[in-house]
Structure 1
Amino acid sequence: MKAVLTEESTPVYASLDDQTISIATIHKGEIVELGKVTHKKNKEVWVAATLENGTQGYIHGDAKIYRVQKGQLMDKSIDMVDTPSKEANVLKTLTKGTIITITAVEKNDDGSWYRGTDESGATGYIPTTASFRVAPEFTRAGARKDMITGLIFIVVGTVLAILDTRSSQANGMVFLSYAVIFFGLLQGGQGLYEYLTVRKKEKAKQG
């Protein structure tokens, strides 16, 4: 699980012991990958953490964090502003379908705001009145699985169609075979779309 630190800083230790020298410090706003939670006999809670630079260690379970979430904008459009204020400057206008990585929620006299970053790298604030749904997470492994599954269905459907045409009796398998092939095309197409999306994001990061 990815999370962002919401307090000023917290130390990272090499072992489940805060009496040792810390190996790193996580600062407010930095994103970490959280892993296994360990409960010690003295009731202390520790969480395995991997920093963005690859450093691995443990942080106290009472560290203040916010779970990073990816949301897809459902509203027709919404302004992203530079500060959590009604008088803030508009950075850009987000349109329906935009994917936002939400890293914090801030509240003040002007209301409640999401702090987020879009896929172009623009970071700003969006009012929490905006409607989001959980954005799909595409991976190479998932895309490959969908493409292979689609190919299998296409092969099975094709075999059924061939067997049906060679049969001396009409058994109605042709409609089933076409349905299986169609499902395979949809599944394979979805996998290809996911793969191309992942490739595009990887190239954007490298560029």
Structure 2
Amino acid sequence: MRGILVEEVVKVYAEASDQTLSITSLRKGDEFELGKVSRKKKEVWVEVTLDSGQTGFISGETKIFVIKKVQFFADNIEAHEAPTNESAVIKTYPKKTIVTAVGYESDEAKGWVKIIDAEGQTGYVRGEAKIRVYQEASVANGKKQMFSGGMFAVLAAAFYIFSLNKGETTSNMSILIVAVFAFGLMQIVQGFLEYNKAKKKENQPK
């Protein structure tokens, strides 16, 4: 998981203590990999790996923005040149566009999300814009969906057989059983599609 520094400057220490050697400093906008979080003498420290490969620790109180992919779920999302309403609109995005959120800034109590699109264009969109975190396809999540879907389908089938043996099947119960089975089947299909998508991405040459 990658993060970006929001503060102006912060020291990176060799160990999880400000009494140890400061090996370098990070400045606002610097990116790094976030590692494990540890607690030492009631202080929280976060392990970071710099782009150079060097590892160190920063205070848990450091202001960090976690870089993530997001998706617009409304049309005509405007990206501004700067985090103000007065700045020029440099691009308008359609619904379902996927971008990378790399920061958050405020102007007169209004929040702005800093984004970078697939073409490398940087801009700012209003914090109240319709944005949600984009969940990338993964093999693990695909398997999880298929497993849970299979469980629902098996449960529905078992309940149906049990009801037949007891002679207690009613129209309402039948509708419920069909609904549970259909939900399970839908989960299996969605999981299978996500699994295949993730596997294809893994097999693509880098």
When normalised by structure 2's length, the TM-score is 0.69
1:95 equivalent in alignment to 2:94 = yes
How has the CA–CA distance of structure 1 residues 175 and 4 changed in structure 2, closer, same or farther, with 3 Å as cutoff?
same
Cα distance in 2 for residues equivalent to 1:197 and 1:78: 28
Q: Secondary structure at the match of 2:57?
A: strand
CA distances 1:121-179 after superposition (whole Å, capped 9, x unpaired)? 534113316513432534432221111111222233334445666x4846236444322
SS at match of 2:169: coil
The 3-state SS of whatever aligns with 1:32 is strand
Unpaired segments ≥5 residues, structure 1: none
Give the 3 Å change call, closer, same or farther, for CA 177–58 of structure 1 in structure 2: same
Taking the aligned partners of 1:122 and 1:20, their CA distance within structure 2 comes to 37
Does residue 108 of structure 2 align to residue 104 of structure 1? no
Letter in 1 for 2:123: Y
What pairs with 1:138-177 in structure 2 (closer than 5 Å)? 138=136, 139-161=138-160, 167=165, 169=167, 171-172=169-170, 174-177=174-177
Q: Is the Cα–Cα contact under 8 Å of residues 157 and 181 in structure 2 kept in the other structure? A: yes
Question: Please, what TM-score do these two structures have when normalized by structure 1?
Answer: 0.68
Paired residue type of 2:17: D
Q: Quick one: which amino acid aligns to residue 36 of structure 1?
A: V
> How far apart in 2 are the matches of 1:103 and 1:176?
45
3-state SS of 2:15 partner: coil
**CA RMSD across the alignment:** 3.8
**Alignment match, 2:188:** 188
1:36 aligns with 2:37: yes
Query: Paired residues, what number?
Result: 199
The residue aligned with 2:71 is 72
Shift of the alpha carbon at 1:202? 5.2
Report if the CA contact (8 A) 1:15-1:58 is conserved: yes
SS in 2 for 1:180: helix
Mapped partners of 2:105, 2:123: distance in 1: 9
Whole-Å separation in 2 of the counterparts to 1:196 and 1:36: 34
Is the contact made by 2:32 and 2:48 (CA closer than 8 Å) also made in structure 1?
no
In the other structure, the counterpart of 2:4 is 4
> Deviations 1:23-64 (Å, cap 9, x if unpaired)?
x654533143253152536xx653223446765431134544
- Distance of 1:162 and 1:52 partners within structure 2: 59
